Amino acid sequence: MSEPTPSARPSFDGSSTGESSPERLGAHLEASLLRELMRTWRDIANTYFKGGLHPPVMRLVDGTTRLGAWDRRARCIELSRPFVMKQSWGSVVEVLKHEVAHQYAHEVLGAIDETAHGPAFRKVCALMGIDPAASGTPEVSDEGDERVLKKVADLLALAQSGNRHEAENAAALAQRLMLKHNVALADAP
């Protein structure tokens, strides 16, 4: 079987010009990456913030001094392209959660007159189990493993409460704690 001629090879934009340049491939992959980042943003917004946020603009930037940033004026989350391309997806998600916490503090709590990592932001991070440092990896908690497991077990027991509101809140808190400390249900006592 013979190789297809250059003019018959499909390119990434759907044409068959044979001009599948690195720039075109890069643009295609970056567009796919941005779509996946938006899907992940939606998952974070729904899981942590019950869908109370509106989707922002998502942008990759070439800088390396910051891993991510929330620009409230442009309603944009920027992530460092080199960071996103070189680090694990889990690290990228941690930084994205950090930026979504900034978005929530600004758009829902109305925190516009305080520093970026001010009281409203820290409160959101504490309540949602989001690492306020956003170094790309979750901050190691100083709580012991047994203490975390006991707290998860207590919350899961409370999630069986006859009071629907109390049960839902306990289940949500247990889920956040499990996510924060990477605890599986099989680990809980």
For the chain, domains (ranges, CATH) are 23-128 (3.30.2010.10), 145-187 (no CATH)
Mean pLDDT by 10 residues, the chain (189 residues): 44 42 69 94 92 92 89 95 88 93 91 82 89 62 63 80 80 76 56
CA-CA-CA-CA torsion sign (12, 18, 22, 23): negative
Cβ-contact 44, 100 below 8 angstroms = yes
Find the helix or strand (DSSP H, E) in which 82 lies: helix 81-86
Partners of 151 in beta bridges: none
What is the model's pLDDT at position 93?
92
For β-strands 57-61 and 76-80, DSSP reports them as parallel
What is the model's pLDDT at position 102?
93
CB atoms within 10 A of CB 159: 17
Give the strand order in the sheet containing 68-71: 57-61, 76-80, 68-71
